[in-house]
Amino acid sequence: MHLNKVSLEARHISLSYGSTEVLKDVNIRIEPGEFFALLGPSGSGKSTLLRLIAGFNQHQRGELLIDGKDITGTPPHLRNVGMVFQNYALWPHMTVWDNVAFGLVERKEPKESLRRKVAAALELVGLQDYAQRRPSQLSGGQQQRVALARTVVIEPKLLLLDEPLSNLDKNLRVQMREELKNLQRTLGLTTIFVTHDQEEAMTTADRMAVLDKGVLQQVGTAAALFDFPANRFVASFVGTANLVQGRVTRVNGETLHFQADGLGEMVLPRNQESPGAGPASLSFRPHTVHIRVRDEHGDASRIWLDGRVESSEFLGETSRYRVRVGEALIVANQAHYSGLSLFPPGAEVRLGIEPTQARFLTH
């Protein structure tokens, strides 16, 4: 089973319910065969956009194109788009085989072809031995696979997944993430999935779009969004970020001077992304911050700040500290090795910020 690869493009899509704008001028292009995530908090518009692609709701402005053809007025059953819902929506009274065959029966698929396609879909998800079971006799992960098989068996142009892993426990989620990725690679099917879980998006998607309050914030690979967030929202939603407000007071040659609220002046190297004078936020990730005892000298390439540990969390691979520096609270992660004891609350420490890993955000 190898399916068609199609592109999807949203051009200036806007949708309102009454006076509430749910999607505001959204522009995205998803490439043929791409595994694409729509990421955002509850109420960001990501599920609305997915349902709009499926045809379950209708935008008031803009165009929605599959392979360059506007499908705005096309009803759901004529779009040939497959959707897997969060709760799987399997028929409890039907066997796995009949659940998977359902869409083909509806389409009056000839018997021989139907048998061949259902068998291929079950084999694809590793459930060929479970064909005669009922959904209630399956685990959550197996039900998820049945829902996937039932969707891909109709050979859709697009596969849409709505929070596909949210009903599974953590270990199974990680396993199913791998399976989903492998299945998508095998099929080469353009796939769009909605999630509020940044880890899920970062580990599976080729690229992702971050939405907030119906507005598209940024599109790119996980690494691009993590390393070069477009704004404060993306910086804090994709991963964990320290955001220090302040203003750039002076820019000269190779350096700029940043007056950080509650922290005082920092002198940082200037690069092509550096802003001019004016209000800005400095963003840097906790794992790039060095933490050490107060009287230890650090290397001169870092910006060193003196602080006091307010709290610590042991996360296994890392220890996470919240450190009070002046009026600011800075989060620093330290890689954990056995025998390394935690800094206790109240400990006087120095934090080293790596300037090359810091980013200026102006909105």
The pLDDT score that the predictor gives to residue 66 is: 93
The model's confidence at residue 1, banded by pLDDT at 50, 70 and 90, is low
Q: How far is CA 69 from the centre of its chain?
A: 27
Residues ≥6 apart with Cβ < 8 Å to 161: 83, 84, 180, 191, 192, 193, 194
pLDDT in tens, 117-163: 999 999 888 888 999 999 989 888 888 889 889 988 988 989 999 98
Rounded Cα gap, residues 106 and 35, in angstroms: 28
Residue type at 319 in one-letter notation: S
Rounded (10°) CA dihedral 203, 205, 206, 211: -120
**Beta strand ranges found along 241-285 (DSSP E):** 242-252, 255-260, 264-269, 278-284
pLDDT higher than threshold 60 for residue 286: yes
Of 158, 138, 126, residue with least CA distance to 35: 158
The pLDDT score that the predictor gives to residue 347 is: 94
Rounded Cα gap, residues 253 and 247, in angstroms: 18
The model's confidence at residue 222, banded by pLDDT at 50, 70 and 90, is very high
Rounded Cα gap, residues 257 and 334, in angstroms: 28
The model's confidence at residue 179, banded by pLDDT at 50, 70 and 90, is confident
The pLDDT score that the predictor gives to residue 291 is: 93
pTM of the model: 0.86
Q: Give the tokens for residue 353.
A: 């910020």
* Averaged pLDDT, 292-299: 78
Q: Are strands 207-212 and 190-195 parallel, antiparallel or unpaired?
A: unpaired
Contact 277, 325 (CB under 8 A): no
Rounded Cα gap, residues 142 and 135, in angstroms: 8
The model's confidence at residue 214, banded by pLDDT at 50, 70 and 90, is very high
Q: Give the tokens for residue 199.
A: 């880890």
Cα-Cα end-to-end distance for the chain: 46
pLDDT in tens, 7-59: 999 999 999 998 899 999 999 999 999 999 999 998 899 999 999 999 999 99
pLDDT higher than threshold 70 for residue 72: yes
Rounded Cα gap, residues 124 and 186, in angstroms: 9
Contact 60, 231 (CB under 8 A): no
Q: To the nearest whole number, what is the mean pLDDT of the chain?
A: 89
pLDDT higher than threshold 90 for residue 174: no
The sign of the CA dihedral 78, 80, 83, 88 is positive
The pLDDT score that the predictor gives to residue 2 is: 54
Q: Residue 77: phi, psi to the nearest 5?
A: -70, -15
* DSSP secondary structure string for all residues of 67-133: TTEE-TT--GGGT-EEEE-TT----TTS-HHHHHHHHHHHTT--HHHHHHHHHHHHHHTT-GGGTTS
Residue ranges and CATH numbers for the domains of the chain are 8-236 (3.40.50.300), 242-361 (2.40.50.140)
* Averaged pLDDT, 332-361: 91
pLDDT in tens, 296-346: 776 778 889 999 999 999 999 999 999 999 888 999 999 999 988 889 999
